[in-house]
Amino acid sequence: MEYSLVCHNLYALSASPVKKKLALLGIMFLLWAYMLYSCVGYCATMPSLVVDSYRVKEPEHASRRTESGGRADLMSKLLPRPQGWVDLESDYDEPSLRTASRDLSANDVDGDRGDEWEDQARVDQRSPEPSSLSSFSNGSGSKKLPQAIIIGVKKGGTRALLEFLRVHPDIRAVGAEPHFFDRNYDNGLEWYRDLMPKTLEGQITMEKTPSYFVTREAPARISAMSRDTKVIVVVRDPVTRAISDYTQTLSKKPDIPSFESLTFKNRTTGLIDTSWSAIQIGIYAKHLDNWLQYFPMEQILFVSGERLISDPAGELGRVQDFLGLKRIITDKHFYFNQTKGFPCLKKAEGSSKPHCLGKTKGRVHPNIDPEVVQRLRDFYRPFNMKFYQMTGHNFGWD
């Protein structure tokens, strides 16, 4: 009897530490599982918390967002990665004003636009996969109507400007030209909004369609969407622009008449044919009159197409100021490509290689009779003078 009692006590004593260890291990396992579960939930929400915190701390105006380079670098990693450089050719044909106009490439409009969207799809397919942080931040955003639009002009440098701007982490832009306010307005604003990329609070949504500048209905339609919309116009020497426009058409239709024969209604009298869209687009003062009926001058920025080539960082600085953004895009982003004659990005976000515009940019212009060029300069001079007065800026075309 005594032996069995002693054995029982010894067994109880020996079993007790095992039970304690098992119980302790069980508790530790439960705590570990709980911590893991909590960590997963926290990590999933951390990006938005970090970004939201950054957005709250960031003032609305760029002039106060000049903390330190290290902080800017850190936040650029946390924010969604801006879209990489896109080698797109925007070879659509500009629809002219709703008045009588002669456009040699009118039949190619839809085809060119289809090519543009197809090019964009190919670029999207080969774009690098965004990080999980960028994906989450981008997924947590929402599609908004654009707060800024590049409205013109055709062959002025709009594609280069848009691609340069897409380097900025606070700019999100749709790649292909929506043509909403000239061709697709009947589709409605929700259709238009759905084309836009997702943005976070504080980011700017942009698009560019150069034909808006010469579309009579566009200013009223954009104003009806939002009177606060900022519009950007890239302008270029109208004579050079017309020749570039003709060169683009010639590359697709080699059998078109010569530039000289299209320029004049009557070569003998020297009367310029303003019904030809290549000529009509360059009468900037006439088109600007239409826009000033709906937008004050302080909401319109004019970018020099010439300076966009000779000093891209300087022009981009003006654009960033106009949009209320910190000057992140600077000289360090560019190098000049001697072969193409254009500035290119040294390194686009998400890529380790330099990037330039597509091969169709920088076409060699045909030789034009100097007398024809001079007559065009004489024709445009009074319109240029008026445009300089309206904008308060002499672009030096004369």
Which residues define the annotated binding site for 3'-phosphoadenylyl sulfate? 155-159, 236, 244, 361-365
Question: How many Å apart are CA 242 and CA 391, to the nearest integer?
Answer: 21
φ and ψ at residue 113, rounded to 5 degrees: -65, -40
Question: How many Å apart are CA 337 and CA 339, to the nearest integer?
Answer: 6
| Active site annotation includes 253 | no
| Residues 251/363, Cβ–Cβ less than 8 Å | yes
Q: Catalytic: which of 155, 208, 230, 326?
A: 155
Who's near 262: CB < 8 A, 6+ residues apart?
104, 246, 256, 273, 276, 278
CA–CA distance from 77 to each of 43, 187, 333 (Å)?
16, 37, 17
Cα Rg, the chain, nearest whole Å: 30
Angle between helices 370-391 and 238-252 (to 10 degrees): 120
- DSSP for 131-168? PHHHHHHHHTSEE---SEEEEE-TTSSHHHHHHHHTTS
Annotated binding site: 155-159, 236, 244, 361-365
Closest CA to 57 of 77, 72, 42: 72
Residue 302 bridge partners (DSSP): 233
Question: How many Å apart are CA 89 and CA 112, to the nearest integer?
Answer: 9
Residue 301 bridge partners (DSSP): 232
Residues designated as active site: 155
